[in-house]
Amino acid sequence: MTERIKKLVQYTVSGDMRPIAITPDFDSGDMLLPQIIMEGKRECEYILAQSCPMYPESAFTGLFTFNGSTLGDAFSRGGHKNFRELFSENYRKPIENLVCVDWQHCVGNYSKIIENGFIGIMKEIEESRRAHEGDSEALDFLETQDQLCIAMIKRAHKCSEMAKNKASETKNKEYKANLLKLSEALMRVPENGAESFYEALLILHMIYPLLPDSIGLIDRYLYHYYRNDIEKGMITKETAKEYLQELFLMLQARINHKSDRFYRGGESHFCIGGYLPNGEDGWNELSELIVEALMELPTWIPQISIRWTKKTPREVLRFMLDAERNDPNKRIAFVNDEPRLRGLMKNMEMPFEVACEYTMMGCNELALPGGIVFGFDPSNILRSIENTFHKRTDDIIKAKTFEDFFDIYTEELKKDLSEISRIGEKLQEKRAMDNSIVSNMLLDGCIERAKCFTRGGASKYTAVGILIGLSNVIDSLSVTKQFVYDERIVTMKELTDALKANWSGYEELHSLIIKKGKFFGNDDETSNYVAQLFFKTLDAVSTKDNYLGKKWIYGNLIGYNEYHKFFGDLTAATPDGRYAGEMTNFGIGQSGDKDREGLTSLLSSVAKCDPENIMVGPSVTNVLLEETLVKNDDSFEKLVTLFETYFKSGGTHFQLTYVSKEDLINAQKEPDKYRNLRVRVSGFSDYFNNLNKGLQDEIITRTVKTK
């Protein structure tokens, strides 16, 4: 790491690089303007009032944040009144013990502005004006977008002047040259498209505040700039690394350093690698440089996922796993293109050329460039089991075969999925009441349709449902099949009586289930069959007949909140041995030492469970390893082979934590002694002591793999 970057790291970690938001004095006469025109005018005034964070060591600038005095961006939504009301009423509060409202992630189509500049966006606006001639509402919306382009160009010129002034005060010749280069470039971009790797990154710095979420597949849309500059001798690998590091520091600096989110990788997450539209693997020398640049930084944001394909060389997977095991801040996760692309093509009806452009973002959501995740309301899928055993008791007692029983369960599953969709539609209607302004030019379809993304403007979106308690469902169905129908150890009436008694008086049965139950993750015939049956059923009942007009794909993460505890608190006892009020599981792994057969069996179970590729949304597979397995070079090579085999078999995702269960338990008791203990949670990493107890407890229940 160069001295220049070391200085910028200091500014970033101390919070000095985060810009101070400035609220302009808005004209009270604005209230006489049409609503959207007034809001657009104020957004432009706000943008132009913001300063440009810059130090003598800076080669880039452009970061600013919205503070809620205007509508703001699509991700932060600080000024979205109805969205805030929705969260105030429903956030972290289960609706009918079935749904909780949560955030929505999106990724900008950054390459469009990098290639064409705001001039290109203004041409799109003019074309849309002609298409919507006579539609005053559409034309007013387009006018706001045009004015935003002009405001962003003016802001670049303002930053140019600041860079020139900063250069005049700087004695270091290298830094002075950097600032003068910055000043000159800002007079060209982002008004016009980039002509170099440096200009492409500068545009990204300038436009990121308009949609401060994932930066997407930067090893793709920046690659030809990098390759061209390297070939022409305009840039060196080391200089390119510096530029990338300054970009990553900008992503870190956006978060308030006093916030717990400052240490969470879910605040900015992007991918590298994966299939290209021509079917080739997308890993390139820029992908590797991105990882090297990030690993040198002692920061927590961003996090990256490597998209593995069957064409990914083993040495690339090894390189990424080696980077992961040596990263104290645990910023790397692993996803598999093979099942995900099959699922997107089948369930989202995307052509391969479109589907392969997806990126992971947030805690492990996914979207296309210029796209957004809709739905994404964490849901208690275990309620369908609860209803089956506690409300349909008479019906399931009469069921003579497992198939008869499963038909009854399927009825309850359908009811809950329908109710989840109904509640989700109501939540989305509330979100749609805010007419957002600033992010639309980065979201495909909004300019063309002359509508903001909340009101039907976005043309690229995924319909995603989040199912909490999946392994509890599979285990409950598997135990029922095993104990009631296959081995006939217990009658259905005895099992339902035990559940209604919360296992009181049935301790022997409970102990037997925990000891002998065929639980998911052990690669046995019964639990594998039930898992596949469940996902085939989920696929069969998922249709386009919903408020989003697309077939649902599903995930299983919980993000930053302990939804597994919120739902578990209100859910009665279930056949997997869970007591009433006990937290449910999340992810598609196993916990509580129920995965008895080791890591190979767990991964094999996960890889086999979803033949229909319906679980290609934000799915998480957590693996907790004994640290010696990772640190020892011989066992590490075996792990590389194991995870490569897992992906070849169809596994969708994995993320690693390696720490002893004893340390986790002690960290809860004596947190001051374990301040640096960092873990992967649900698609993101954080310090163990920063997590709420529900998340800590979940991590402690994970089985530590020792072989």
Give the DSSP letter string of 625-665.
E-HHHHHSHHHHHHHHHHHHHHHHTT--EEEEEE--HHHHH
Interatomic CA distance for residues 23 and 48, integer angstroms: 10
Interatomic CA distance for residues 147 and 224, integer angstroms: 31
Strand partners of residue 305: 271, 333
What is the model's pLDDT at position 591? 81
Residues 6+ apart with CB under 8 A from 490: 483, 484, 498, 509
Residues 6+ apart with CB under 8 A from 453: 74, 106, 372, 436, 439, 440, 443, 446
Q: Hey, is 162 helix, strand or coil?
A: helix
Structure tokens given for 316: 């690339």
Amino acid at 400: K
Burial of 389 (0-12, 13-18, 19+ CB in 10 A): buried
Strand partners of residue 705: 625
- The residue assigned the tokens 């799915």 is 619
Interatomic CA distance for residues 319 and 332, integer angstroms: 11
Structure tokens given for 694: 């529900």
What is the model's pLDDT at position 438? 95
Interatomic CA distance for residues 390 and 529, integer angstroms: 24
Q: Per mean pLDDT, which range of 78-82, 384-388, 484-488 is the poorest?
A: 78-82
Residues 6+ apart with CB under 8 A from 184: 160
Mean pLDDT of 653-671: 90
Mean pLDDT of 535-539: 97
C-beta atoms surrounding 501 within 10 Å: 12
Q: State which H helix or E strand residue 476 sits in.
A: helix 470-480
Closest Cα partner for 492 from 504, 502, 479? 479
Q: Per mean pLDDT, which range of 82-86, 319-323, 693-697 is the poorest?
A: 693-697
Q: Is the model more confident about 394 or about 92?
A: 394
Cα angle: 613, vertex 617, 623; to 5 degrees: 90
What is the model's pLDDT at position 369? 96
Q: Is the model's pLDDT at 682 over the cut of 90?
A: no
Interatomic CA distance for residues 408 and 395, integer angstroms: 8
pTM of the model: 0.96
Interatomic CA distance for residues 426 and 547, integer angstroms: 10
Interatomic CA distance for residues 361 and 370, integer angstroms: 13
SS3 per residue for 349-403: CCCHHHHCCCEEECCCEEECCCEEEEEEEEEECCHHHHHHHHCCHHHHHHCCCHH
Is the N-terminal amide bond of 212 cis, ω within 30° of 0?
A: no
DSSP annotation of 222: T
Mean pLDDT of 269-289: 98
Q: Is the model's pLDDT at 56 over the cut of 90?
A: yes
Strand partners of residue 285: none
Amino acid at 219: D
CB contact at 8 A, 149 and 122: yes
Q: Place 267 in a pLDDT band, splitting at 50, 70 and 90.
A: confident
What is the model's pLDDT at position 361? 93
Q: What is the dihedral of CA 270, 276, 279, 285, to 10 degrees?
A: -90
Residues 6+ apart with CB under 8 A from 527: 474, 475, 478, 518, 519, 520, 521, 605
Mean pLDDT of 389-397: 98
Interatomic CA distance for residues 280 and 271, integer angstroms: 16
Closest Cα partner for 382 from 134, 45, 677, 94? 94
Q: Per mean pLDDT, which range of 201-210, 387-396, 438-447, 625-634 is the poorest?
A: 625-634
Q: What is the dihedral of CA 68, 69, 75, 81, to 10 degrees?
A: 80
Amino acid at 187: M
pLDDT digits (tens, 9 = 90+) for 447-456: 999 999 988 9
Q: Hey, is 486 helix, strand or coil?
A: helix
What is the model's pLDDT at position 697? 87
What is the model's pLDDT at position 600? 93
CB contact at 8 A, 422 and 546: no
What is the model's pLDDT at position 61? 98
Closest Cα partner for 218 from 293, 150, 280, 152? 293
Mean pLDDT of 609-630: 91
What is the model's pLDDT at position 707? 67
pLDDT digits (tens, 9 = 90+) for 378-392: 999 999 999 999 999
Amino acid at 421: S
Q: Place 701 in a pLDDT band, splitting at 50, 70 and 90.
A: confident
What is the model's pLDDT at position 266? 78
Interatomic CA distance for residues 73 and 22, integer angstroms: 16
Mode of pairing for the β-strands spanning 653-658 and 622-625: parallel
Interatomic CA distance for residues 232 and 436, integer angstroms: 43
What is the model's pLDDT at position 406? 98
- The residue assigned the tokens 């589907």 is 355
Interatomic CA distance for residues 666 and 663, integer angstroms: 5
C-beta atoms surrounding 34 within 10 Å: 12
Interatomic CA distance for residues 244 and 50, integer angstroms: 24
Q: Is the model's pLDDT at 322 over the cut of 90?
A: yes
Largest CA distance in the chain: 86
C-beta atoms surrounding 591 within 10 Å: 23
Interatomic CA distance for residues 447 and 124, integer angstroms: 7
DSSP 616-631: -SS---EEEE-HHHHH
Mode of pairing for the β-strands spanning 332-336 and 704-705: unpaired
CB contact at 8 A, 82 and 434: yes
Interatomic CA distance for residues 603 and 606, integer angstroms: 5
Angular region, 364: left φ>0, alpha ψ -120 to 50, beta rest:
left
CB contact at 8 A, 90 and 61: no
